[in-house]
Amino acid sequence: MKIAFFSTQPYDKAFFERENKNKKFTYQFFTAPLDSHIVHAVDPVDAVCVFVNDKVTREVVEVLASKGVKIIALRCAGFNNVDLDAAKAFGLAVCRVPAYSPEAVAEHAVAMLLTLNRKTHKAYNRVREQNFALQGLLGFNLHGRTVGVVGTGKIGKAFARIMLGFGCKVLAYDLYEDRELIDLGITYVSSDVLYDRSDIISLHCPLTPDNMHMIDKTALDKMKEGVMLLNTSRGGLIDTVAAIDALKSKRIGGLAIDVYEQEEKIFFKDLSDTIIEDDILQRLMSFPNVLITAHQAFFTDEALTQIARVTLENIECLLQNKPLNKDAAL
Ligand code: NAD
């Protein structure tokens, strides 16, 4: 079984090699993302394995189909970067890893919240410079605060549970209510009520054509003055220009993002020697109350092991016409 990997990082190679001890699979690794140019370099393979920023457009799908590729295997949960209609039309199966470690992402969201609130990133640098002053490091207690969780699927649920453990009141907005969360004391409200009442808002819903820029000026205007906004889901959920205006007007008191709408040209690369041309990202990075990580919320040993294992299982099942695990087929 032959697989071509795109956007390959050293850790992808390491974890996928580790899960292929019996050499059932043959790998071809590309560091470049899959796009309409590199797709022409794909050798005859059974599957292409892609990540969050590979652009699997109709054009790409058509070339893959012409080369006899049968499967587009996402080594992630989100699939907004794949044209599913085109895949169906050209007869390619699409699979993903629906739940590799919801805790990995939820815990990273909490890490970002604690860092941004208690400014441990600044304290770390200060102390190393022998600056032991506290001025400028003031935070607030999470205990007793209201946290709004948008999207209470696997990750949102894990995040909500952790917040309950901190002694927060948790509000949730989702298209479907989760009985287990209601039993734990979480209250489902409309998005407007969630925006109005939450001190902290964390986004955990997928990006779909319907909710692109769901956090726009209108939504931000409904939020509490000084709200702390977290996004570990997908960059396109937030209208970044509107968020910058809201940071300037102090409507947003803190913004922590692990995802950014224009991230595909920037994230997962070492650009320390180059000039970043994205002025919006540069403006974001200039705020003292903005914390950015480069799509690393999933990045734990447990998650990478599970991603490699499930991706290979998905490909094997599809090639052998066996049913996939729940939610893995798209
Ligand atoms: P999930 O499918 O288990 O849950 C998503 C939830 O969002 C569902 O309950 C769904 O009903 C709800 N939802 C859908 N549209 C909504 C909307 N418009 N408003 C409110 N709720 C809505 O997914 P999950 O595993 O919890 O993952 C959530 C998202 O996290 C993924 O789609 C992906 O984009 C992102 N993610 C990020 C990373 C990272 O490393 N930063 C890693 C994994 C996943």
| 82-118 pLDDT per residue, tens | 999 999 999 999 999 998 899 999 999 999 999 999 9
Return the number of other C-beta atoms located less than 10 Å from residue 30's C-beta. 17
Q: Does residue 298's CB lie within 6 angstroms of at least one atom of ligand 1?
A: yes
What residue owns the CA closest to ligand 1's atom 9? 153
Give the confidence band of 78 by pLDDT, cuts at 50, 70, 90.
confident
Q: Does residue 211's CB lie within 6 angstroms of at least one atom of ligand 1?
A: yes
Give the confidence band of 180 by pLDDT, cuts at 50, 70, 90.
very high
What is the mean predicted confidence (pLDDT) over 233-244? Answer: 97
Q: Which of 9, 51, 155, 327 to mutate to test the pocket of ligand 1 (most atoms within 8 A of CB)?
A: 155
Q: At what angle do helices 301-319 and 10-18 cross, to 10 degrees?
A: 60
DSSP structural state of residue 329: B
2-100+300-319 and 102-292 in the same fold: yes
Give the confidence band of 234 by pLDDT, cuts at 50, 70, 90.
very high
From the list 295, 216, 200, 211, the residue with the least C-alpha distance to 255 is 200
Listing from the earlier edge strand, what are the strands of the sheet with 169-173?
187-188, 169-173, 146-150, 200-203, 227-231, 252-257, 290-292
What residue owns the CA closest to ligand 1's atom 37? 233
Q: Which pLDDT score, from 0 to 100, does residue 134 have? A: 98
Residue given tokens 């994230």 in the structure block = 267
The topology (CATH level 3) of 102-292 is Rossmann fold (3.40.50)
- The count of residues in the chain is 330
What residue owns the CA closest to ligand 1's atom 4? 153
Is residue 163 over pLDDT 90?
A: yes
Q: Does residue 105's CB lie within 6 angstroms of at least one atom of ligand 1?
A: yes
From the list 115, 124, 67, the residue with the least C-alpha distance to 91 is 67
* 227 phi and psi angles, rounded to 5 deg: -55, 145
Q: Does residue 275's CB lie within 6 angstroms of at least one atom of ligand 1?
A: no
DSSP structural state of residue 215: B
Atom of ligand 1 nearest to the CA of 296: 40
Which CATH superfamily is 2-100+300-319 part of? Answer: NAD(P)-binding Rossmann-like Domain (3.40.50.720)
The full set of domain ranges for the chain reads 2-100+300-319, 102-292
**What distances in angstroms separate CA 148 from CA 158, 162, 220, one per listed residue?**
13, 13, 14
Tokens standing for 118? 């208690």
Is residue 325 over pLDDT 90?
A: no
Q: Which residues are catalytic?
A: 234, 263, 295
- Tell how far the Cα of 268 is from the centroid of ligand 1, in angstroms: 21
Give the confidence band of 326 by pLDDT, cuts at 50, 70, 90.
confident
Residue type, 322: K
